[in-house]
């Protein structure tokens, strides 16, 4: 459970500070349903850009943002349905679009959710503390951004091998950027840096997304309902919610899978990972190129009881497909194969992990032999705006993208098989859950009783946590009421 005990003196100080800076906080209910956001806030947003450093953008931590750079308010949930001429499946595949969050990725939601309880209880004091955001990329961008909106100093931690776009923007947002050795899957090095900070820098508070329950809470209460809303909008009579396929970085987004599993009978949840780092499939390790996921450990907040399948994705394929989906020769080939110009124009809404998720969803739909009445949901966490430099690097390494390469890549896409798919038995689920022990208990000193509760007392553990969104909303509303009084 999230600790919601209040430090009254510190809370009052936070209220006073928000009053001086004109900061009001969104509730989970407002993040889920923007019709609950006050009209006065919506009016203000008409003059504010999507990425502007303005505290009203806290309300744009929302799946319903109008898809525009400047002055948007709220409409439908942002999603894309990928056409069958690309998926090759009978089932429909739909991805929520993270690009239209400030920072261009939905991870800003996890970051806000981790900070909110600390602020409204008073346990985090932005005047004396720095918020530290350990991440493989988008979470620390989100954390640095949210910290700026709240005028709070921040430290971003990410592996040196992450894309240039991330580092350049971060330098403008965080007070300090720490690049840890290695690439995507070198999370141990990130944790080591955190341990070092914890020991030596008392002014720092670490918001570790991999064990922060509010990360799960946000996706269960906000992202899951956004998927359900899209399903309601696009489903025809007799259609089924097939399930959700997500790759796991912190496993926060997996919380949306749990929501869908709880609310749609028969829906299943799959977790995707890079074949080059098959931790769930094989207890394996390794470097890979799907930025944002697969970090050689099982995150504390991954609920394995709710995970029905693991899917391995060869990282070479998303790397090739971002060229097919974004290079002129790729577009030409897709058009020849019946993909409409409208659909082609939307393909840049998938970043590398988005393409990986699409491939996972294709395997999932094929494995379960889903048909035209099934709808499978996945996540396009960020967009190609974050990976232009990867395209440039590939042109240098592999030569310009031409018709021959596009042909080969499209064939591979159409030939997606159901290899490296594990439908998880009870024992498989428990095996993966138990892997948490070695990092979280042995190395990082967490309490084994809680690890057992996640499994043995799962209904109370996860159910109790998810219900805290309502408690937090009461606390946020009371906090805001004192700010504006
Ligand atoms: C690009 C990208 N994809 C996927 C993920 C995984 O999301 P989660 O951490 O919620 O599992 C992340 C996380 O940072 C990411 O940045």
Tens digit of pLDDT for each residue in 7-35? Answer: 999 999 999 999 999 999 999 999 999 99
CA of 478 to the centre of ligand 1 (A): 32
Percent of the chain with pLDDT over 70: 100
Does position 184 have pLDDT exceeding 70, yes or no? Answer: no
Q: Where are the domains of the chain?
A: 72-112+122-445
Check: CB of residue 177 under 8 Å from CB of residue 171: yes
Element (H, E) at 301: none
Does position 272 have pLDDT exceeding 90, yes or no? Answer: yes
Separation between Cα atoms, residue 147 and residue 131, nearest integer Å: 7
- 96-105, 122-131, 158-167, range with the lowest pLDDT: 158-167
Nearest to 247 by CA among 228, 225, 269, 271: 271
Q: pLDDT tens across 439-463, in order? A: 999 999 999 999 999 999 999 999 9
Q: pLDDT tens across 93-113, in order? A: 999 999 999 999 999 999 999
Check: CB of residue 18 under 8 Å from CB of residue 115: no
Separation between Cα atoms, residue 65 and residue 70, nearest integer Å: 11
Task: Indicate which residue's Cα is closest to atom 14 of ligand 1.
Answer: 292
Buried b (16+ CB within 10 A) or exposed e, 293-303: bbbbbbbbbbb
State if residue 243 touches ligand 1 by the CB under 6 angstroms criterion.
no
State if residue 292 touches ligand 1 by the CB under 6 angstroms criterion.
yes
Average pLDDT, the chain: 96
Which SS3 state, helix, strand or coil, does residue 178 take? Answer: strand
Nearest atom of ligand 1 to the alpha carbon of 351: 1
Predicted local confidence at residue 165, as pLDDT: 79
Does position 295 have pLDDT exceeding 80, yes or no? Answer: no
Nearest atom of ligand 1 to the alpha carbon of 291: 1
Beta strands in 294-373 (DSSP E): 309-313
CA of 14 to the centre of ligand 1 (A): 30
CA atoms within 13 A on the CB side of 360: 33
Residue 161: pLDDT band (50, 70, 90) is confident
Overall average pLDDT of the 382-398 stretch: 94
Structure tokens at 311: 């899917």
Residue 240: pLDDT band (50, 70, 90) is very high
CA of 299 to the centre of ligand 1 (A): 12
Q: Which CATH number fits domain 72-112+122-445: 3.40.50.300, 3.40.50.1100, 3.40.50.720, 1.10.1270.20?
A: 3.40.50.1100
Pairing of strands 154-159, 130-134: parallel
State if residue 351 touches ligand 1 by the CB under 6 angstroms criterion.
yes
DSSP state of 223: I
Overall average pLDDT of the 119-125 stretch: 95
CA of 484 to the centre of ligand 1 (A): 35
pTM (2 d.p.) = 0.97
Check: CB of residue 107 under 8 Å from CB of residue 139: yes
Does position 382 have pLDDT exceeding 80, yes or no? Answer: yes
Predicted local confidence at residue 188, as pLDDT: 83
């Amino acid at each position: 459970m999230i600790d919601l005990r209040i430090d009254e003196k510190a809370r009052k100080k936070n209220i006073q500070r928000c009053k001086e800076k004109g900061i009001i906080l969104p509730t989970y209910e407002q993040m889920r349903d923007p019709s609950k956001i006050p009209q006065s806030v919506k009016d203000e947003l008409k003059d504010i850009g999507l990425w502007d450093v303005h505290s009203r953008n806290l309300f744009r931590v929302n799946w319903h943002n109008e898809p525009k750079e400047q002055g948007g308010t709220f409409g439908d949930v942002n999603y894309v349905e990928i056409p069958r001429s690309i998926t090759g499946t009978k089932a429909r595949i739909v991805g929520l679009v993270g690009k239209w969050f400030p920072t261009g990725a939905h991870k800003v939601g996890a970051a806000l959710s981790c900070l909110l309880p600390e602020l409204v209880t008073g346990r985090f004091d932005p005047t004396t503390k720095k918020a530290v955001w350990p991440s493989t990329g988008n979470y620390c961008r989100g954390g640095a951004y949210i910290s700026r909106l709240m005028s709070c100093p921040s430290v971003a931690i990410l592996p040196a091998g992450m894309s240039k776009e991330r580092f350049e923007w971060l330098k403008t947002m965080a007070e300090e950027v720490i690049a840890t050795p290695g690439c995507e899957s070198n999370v141990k090095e990130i944790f080591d840096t955190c341990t070092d900070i914890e020991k030596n820098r008392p002014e720092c508070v670490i918001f570790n997304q991999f064990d922060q329950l509010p990360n799960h809470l946000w996706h269960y209460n906000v992202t899951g309902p956004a998927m359900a809303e899209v399903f309601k909008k696009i489903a025809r009579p007799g259609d089924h919610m097939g399930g959700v396929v997500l790759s796991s970085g912190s496993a926060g987004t997996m919380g949306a899978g749990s929501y869908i599993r709880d609310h749609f009978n028969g829906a299943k949840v799959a977790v995707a990972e890079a074949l080059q780092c098959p931790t769930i499939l094989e207890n394996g390790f390794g470097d890979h190129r799907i930025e944002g996921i697969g970090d050689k450990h099982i995150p504390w907040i991954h609920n394995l009881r709710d995970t029905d399948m693991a899917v391995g994705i060869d990282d070479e394929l998303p790397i090739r497909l971002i060229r097919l989906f974004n290079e002129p020769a790729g577009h030409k080939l897709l058009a020849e194969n019946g993909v409409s110009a409208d659909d082609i124009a939307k393909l840049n809404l998938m970043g590398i992990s988005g393409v990986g998720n699409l491939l996972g969803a294709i395997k999932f739909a094929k494995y379960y032999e889903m048909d035209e009445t099934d709808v499978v949901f996945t996540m396009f966490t960020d967009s190609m705006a974050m990976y232009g430099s990867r395209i440039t690097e590939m042109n240098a390494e592999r030569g310009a993208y031409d018709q021959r390469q596009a042909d080969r890549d499209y064939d591979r896409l159409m030939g997606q098989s159901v290899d490296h798919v594990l439908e998880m038995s009870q024992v498989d689920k428990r095996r993966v859950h138990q892997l948490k022990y070695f990092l979280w208990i042995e190395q990082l000193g967490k309490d084994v009783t809680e690890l057992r509760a996640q499994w043995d007392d799962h209904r109370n553990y996860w159910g109790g946590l998810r219900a805290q969104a309502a408690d937090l909303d009461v606390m946020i509303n009371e906090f805001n009421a004192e700010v504006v009084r």
